[in-house]
Structure 1
Amino acid sequence: MTLPAPPMSPSGDVTAAPRVAPARTRRLRASLLGLLVLAVLGGALAAGILPRLHAHATLAARTAEALATTVATVRPASAPALQELTLPGDVRAFQDAPVYARVNGYLRRWYADIGTPVKQGQLLAEIDAPEVSDQLRQAHADEAIAAANYALAKRTAERWQDLLTSRSVAQQDTDQKVADMQAKAATLASARSNTARLAQLASYTQIRAPFDGVVTARNVDTGALIDAGSAGGPGRELFHLSAGTRLRVYVQVPQDASGMVGPQMQAWLTLPQFPGQRFAATVARNAGAIDNVTRSLRVELDVDNAGGRILPGAYAEVHLSAPQARAGLTLPANTLMFRPQGTCVAVVGANGMLAIRLVTLGRDFGSHVEITEGLQGGEQVVVNPGDGLLAGDRVQVAADAVDTPATPATQPATTASQAK
């Protein structure tokens, strides 16, 4: 290969080639310097802007978190399958009667005070009624007169009938004598009836017990003026008797629970004076109709009180229990919201969005209530919801309140109508 000849000068001398290496070096250095400057500027920019962007994003997230309301939630629990009712009861004696006077007079003496056990027919008091005694004596005298007149009229009529057989007297005269005898007989019967009436009235001066029981009230004392009468009349109650070996307990069962009460259903009583003790009772009968004023069913229970521990007139709590046909869910009472559209609860969705659901209340367990409609179970229901919570609001669930079951109260339930 032939190399090119070096350049020649005009004089014929060979000239040197131009020097290009320094120019390229300068350009390379300038490029490196520019890249270095750009790198320094980029690093400085990244060091200043990126933390700001991160801080801004963090601030936005924290702001959104702060704007979301923090709520505590609870999940519904299953309601008890056994429905229990606790209702106020009125304890009364199986037999209870006031004792009034049937005659006017003055109390001569009384024989039984309050708390005295008495037997049927036992003398409780005596009344001095002189007017009745005088009337009885007069009635006996009138009866004697009527008896004498009848005896005379009878003998006369018999004689005239004998004379009539011999045709010594007229038939008309004989008929008059017989009619007079019959009239005298009627007068005697009337006199005897009046005597019996006054004798019965005189017996009312002795006040006797109508049945076996205990005297629970004595409202008169010796020498007091007694007026005949009864409740609502001018007379006043002399004694009051109660037979407490067997008791009746009356209770008003709300309409929505009336279907659970049936004859021979077993129940039990509690009384304030016997804490921790139960007394067996049996449903005997009910009114068979709902009272249109109280919207309740009057139920009567029988209680054996042979020991006499329970006193008539006491207050008792009646406990009734029966299987629940359809058990619902329970929630704490402080989860309920009362809105114009009805009773609601606030439910937190999976995305943190709030939903307002209408619910139907069932039994009231005190601190908890039964939800019969509106929830399926497993929802996160807000506890103590504020009035400002609306559907669609974003909320944050407190970590220590998630998945807390709503445990129903252990005391027996009343009814929704009572809760309202």
Structure 2
Amino acid sequence: MTEKTHASLAIPARETVDGHQLPPRTREWKRAKIAIVIVLLLLAIGALRTVVSNIINNRTVAAVTVQNAKQYVNVVVPKQTDGGGDTLLPGTLRGFVESPIYARANGYLLHWYVDIGAHVKQGQLLADLDTPEIDQELAQAVAQRDQTNVSLGLAKTSYERWQQLRQRDAVSQQELDERQSAYNQDVANLAAANANVQRLQQLESFKRIVAPFTGVITQRNVDVGDLIDAGSGTSRALFALAQADPLRVYVQMPQAYSQNVKVGMQVVVTQAELAGQPFHGTITHIAGAIDVPTRSLQLEVTLPNPDGKLRPGAYVQVAVPSTEHARLLVPDNALLFRAEGPRLAVVDANGEVHLRKIVIAQDLGQNLEIESGIEPTDKVIVNPSDSISDGDHVTIAPASTDKELS
């Protein structure tokens, strides 16, 4: 092979178009092709990233939407009470005997001898009245009685004389009967005069206001010189007297507990101002009927008060022993008020809400004692929404699952 042939093999033939040779390829053209390829790759990668990002965002939004659509609630498991617990009820201390003291006679207050807080004995003098009208009426009645007595003496003498005359037939029977009638009339007049004197003497004795029983003065409503009107219609009481030992405590027992109280049961009375000092009393009287407006039974407790620590009129709490069956306690913030009555929202195993009609046995403040309507295993929603209704689906918050009332 010749050198020309070798030379022709080493040098590539030039491309031709329509018989014309093209210019040789340059490095710039190659670089441009590479740049175009790189740009296309970057665009493809960017588009792929956008698509993937949109898919991820859509899934995240869907998950958040589903999560936000869930209604989380806190629940509590009812606590079962002891069957032999005490029923705590409000009560009012009253004196064993309480009485306002009114005047029985009209007059002016001359002097008072006791003030509020004074301990008095039965029959002790509390005040004196000045009664000039009664004094004059009594003097007049005594004088009239004396006149009647003198007239009776004359009628008696005349009647006896005419009896003697009648025996001698000196006077007629008609005349004797007239003398006897006059005598009998004067006897009756004297009896009436004596009764009037006694009445006024009794009124005169009412000038002295005395204590009807032993106790403590709780009110004094008059002062020296006050005009006193007799009676209790429109007049004010002079004093108020209360017997502070023993005391009475009046308690309203709910109808649900009324079948288990008996006369003679021992109760414990406490007063907030005397913390840690229980007082023991006895149920002495029970009303024979349920009060219709309150559906409660009134109890009367007799409470010894020898040291006078307890005062009439004070608010106390009375713990009455209960023999009722065990009940369920739920927090008061679980209660729903509906037009049909009180309800509790209970969640079942599928997360569905059921509104239960309940009967509240007792309101204990922070807790409610439920008579019927729920079971010990129910999960009761705490702080339920006012819009919650039967059939709603909720999710129990993990922190409150199977939480028991403390």
**What TM-score do you get using the length of structure 1 for normalisation?**
0.74
In structure 2, what residue type is equivalent to 1:85? T
The aligned residue for residue 360 of structure 1 is 358
Determine if contact 2:113/2:127 at 8 Å carries over to the other structure: yes
* 1:321 to 1:147, Cα distance in 2 relative to 1, 3 A: same
The aligned residue for residue 21 of structure 1 is none
In structure 1, what residue type is equivalent to 2:243? A
Per the TM alignment, residue 395 of structure 1 is displaced from its structure 2 partner at its CA by 4.7
Give the whole-Å Cα distance in 2 for the aligned partners of 1:65 and 1:114.
Answer: 71
Q: Structure 1: any 5+ residue segments left out of the alignment?
A: 1-50, 408-420
Determine if contact 1:89/1:316 at 8 Å carries over to the other structure: yes
The aligned residue for residue 19 of structure 2 is none
Per the TM alignment, residue 392 of structure 1 is displaced from its structure 2 partner at its CA by 5.9
In structure 1, what residue type is equivalent to 2:241? L
Superposed, 1:197-276 pairs within 5 Å as 197-230=199-232, 232-233=233-234, 235-276=235-276
Determine if contact 1:348/1:395 at 8 Å carries over to the other structure: no
The aligned residue for residue 141 of structure 2 is 139
The aligned residue for residue 123 of structure 1 is 125
- 3-state SS of paired residue (1:112): coil
The aligned residue for residue 331 of structure 1 is 330
Farther-moved stretch of structure 1 (218-227 vs 394-403): 394-403
In structure 2, what residue type is equivalent to 1:330? L
The aligned residue for residue 296 of structure 1 is 296
Give the whole-Å Cα distance in 1 for the aligned partners of 2:107 and 2:305.
Answer: 38
Superposed, 1:374-393 pairs within 5 Å as 374-387=373-386
Per the TM alignment, residue 264 of structure 1 is displaced from its structure 2 partner at its CA by 1.7
Superposed, 1:93-172 pairs within 5 Å as 93-172=95-174
In structure 1, what residue type is equivalent to 2:206? Y
In structure 1, what residue type is equivalent to 2:297? L
* Correspondence for 2:86 among 79, 84, 87: 84
Determine if contact 2:93/2:250 at 8 Å carries over to the other structure: yes
Per the TM alignment, residue 272 of structure 1 is displaced from its structure 2 partner at its CA by 2.7
User: % of aligned pairs identical?
Assistant: 41
Per the TM alignment, residue 177 of structure 1 is displaced from its structure 2 partner at its CA by 1.6
- 3-state SS of paired residue (2:149): helix
Give the whole-Å Cα distance in 1 for the aligned partners of 2:224 and 2:285.
Answer: 43
Cα offsets for 1:194-225 (capped at 9, x unmatched) = 11111111111111111112222222222222
* 1:95 to 1:168, Cα distance in 2 relative to 1, 3 A: same
> Structure 1 residue 312 and structure 2 residue 312: aligned?
yes
In structure 2, what residue type is equivalent to 1:320? V
In structure 2, what residue type is equivalent to 1:157? Y
In structure 2, what residue type is equivalent to 1:250? Y
Per the TM alignment, residue 303 of structure 1 is displaced from its structure 2 partner at its CA by 0.8
Q: Structure 2: any 5+ residue segments left out of the alignment?
A: 1-51
Determine if contact 1:359/1:371 at 8 Å carries over to the other structure: no
> Structure 1 residue 185 and structure 2 residue 187: aligned?
yes
Give the whole-Å Cα distance in 2 for the aligned partners of 1:208 and 1:219.
Answer: 15
In structure 1, what residue type is equivalent to 2:103? A
Determine if contact 1:361/1:369 at 8 Å carries over to the other structure: no
Cα offsets for 1:25-68 (capped at 9, x unmatched) = xxxxxxxxxxxxxxxxxxxxxxxxxx99xx99x97888756654
* 1:182 to 1:321, Cα distance in 2 relative to 1, 3 A: same
Per the TM alignment, residue 83 of structure 1 is displaced from its structure 2 partner at its CA by 4.6
Farther-moved stretch of structure 1 (130-139 vs 372-381): 372-381
Count of aligned pairs = 352
* 1:275 to 1:154, Cα distance in 2 relative to 1, 3 A: same
Give the whole-Å Cα distance in 2 for the aligned partners of 1:228 and 1:340.
Answer: 55
In structure 2, what residue type is equivalent to 1:254? P
Per the TM alignment, residue 302 of structure 1 is displaced from its structure 2 partner at its CA by 1.0
* 1:179 to 1:216, Cα distance in 2 relative to 1, 3 A: same
Determine if contact 1:126/1:205 at 8 Å carries over to the other structure: yes
Cα offsets for 1:323-357 (capped at 9, x unmatched) = 223x24333344444566661323141xx432424
